[in-house]
Structure 1
């Protein structure tokens, strides 16, 4: 399927189907041959952009069973955003024409755990690592305000807050979302079984596959 034929919903289905193959141990490893490599020397047309945590246990293309050039990946610890991340997301949507924006958190996230530790006992890391705490803490405070207190709830809420932040801060993504040209989803990857569970969706169905 060419990039022009993809829709937000069909990309969403492709991502979830790939994750199901990965969970079931049936990964197809698509579009990873020499022909695909040669094709990509002329440019890229990924179908999705994924803002993921930098955790080494969450390799984006592998867990979604996607090929070379299929996903534009941005990785930061705790999938936190700054101006360069927002600019990269807008480039993917505007410059590359992706149809789906994905925020990918995960089970046992160190950034969320560090923020929780700072809230509970005032333990703050030194140097620039403190930025991680500053960026993640608002999500945990919002979760606690709503009566959410478990680590799993914190991780899901952080994904949701990052999704909301991206849509609120990026007029480019927001306008395309309103026009039905882009979908935005938040997922939490479970290290224990490999499943990417849905946290929040905007512009696409909540359950794309039966």
Structure 2
């Protein structure tokens, strides 16, 4: 995250989890960052070729990983339902679409799961946005589909 935004250690409040899924620990970290520490942007950053997304696409089941991957599957199902049935993790374009949708789903989950962050966003105290990091170029593509304007 620090590299993607050309920021030094300590300049960003970062909470990382495989597949950028949203759970209670992540919500607590974001609430703390915004309400207590004064962070102004919640940025959900997925990345191309995400191993967790690929594993969710392929239906991997393995210990605790299964529960994490189940949180990514709604993004897989939505992309498949919309227009890409029969695709696998070997299809880079499909993986990219699922990565983007997974970021969008995470933003929705943040708004649903944290009344604190939702209220702060509604009052324009914070911004909740998302993007996908291109590991080849080092650039972040902002997602615009469901994000609220400032």
TM value normalised by structure 1: 0.63
Structure 2 unaligned regions, length at least 5: 86-93
Q: For 1:74 and 1:68, how far apart are their aligned partners in 2?
A: 13
Please list every run of at least 4 consecutive aligned residues from structure 1 whose deviation after the TM superposition is greater than 3 angstroms: none
**Residue deviations 1:122-161 (CA, integer Å, cap 9, x gap):** xx33211112221110111122222256111111000011
CA RMSD of aligned residues (A): 1.4
**Maintained 8 Å contact 1:139/1:158:** yes
**Maintained 8 Å contact 1:180/1:203:** no
Structure 1 unaligned regions, length at least 5: 1-59, 119-123, 205-210
Deviation at 1:79, TM superposition (A): 0.9
Q: 1:179 aligns with which of 113, 123, 144?
A: 123
Q: For 1:156 and 1:129, how far apart are their aligned partners in 2?
A: 21
| Structure with greater strand share of residues | 1
**Residue deviations 1:64-118 (CA, integer Å, cap 9, x gap):** 1112321000011101121111111111111111110000000000011001111
Q: For 2:7 and 2:62, how far apart are their aligned partners in 1?
A: 37
Q: 1:127 aligns with which of 23, 42, 63?
A: 63
Query: What does residue 18 of structure 1 align with?
Result: none
**Maintained 8 Å contact 1:148/1:154:** no
Q: For this pair of structures, how many residues does the alignment match?
A: 140
Query: What does residue 108 of structure 1 align with?
Result: 49
Alignment of 1:3-152 (within 5 A): 60-118=1-59, 124-148=60-84, 150-152=94-96
Q: Which has the higher contact order (CA 8 A, sep 6+)?
A: 2
TM value normalised by structure 2: 0.87
Q: Determine if the alignment matches structure 1 residue 197 to structure 2 residue 141.
A: yes
Q: Max radius of gyration: which structure? A: 1
**Maintained 8 Å contact 1:177/1:203:** no
SS at match of 1:127: coil
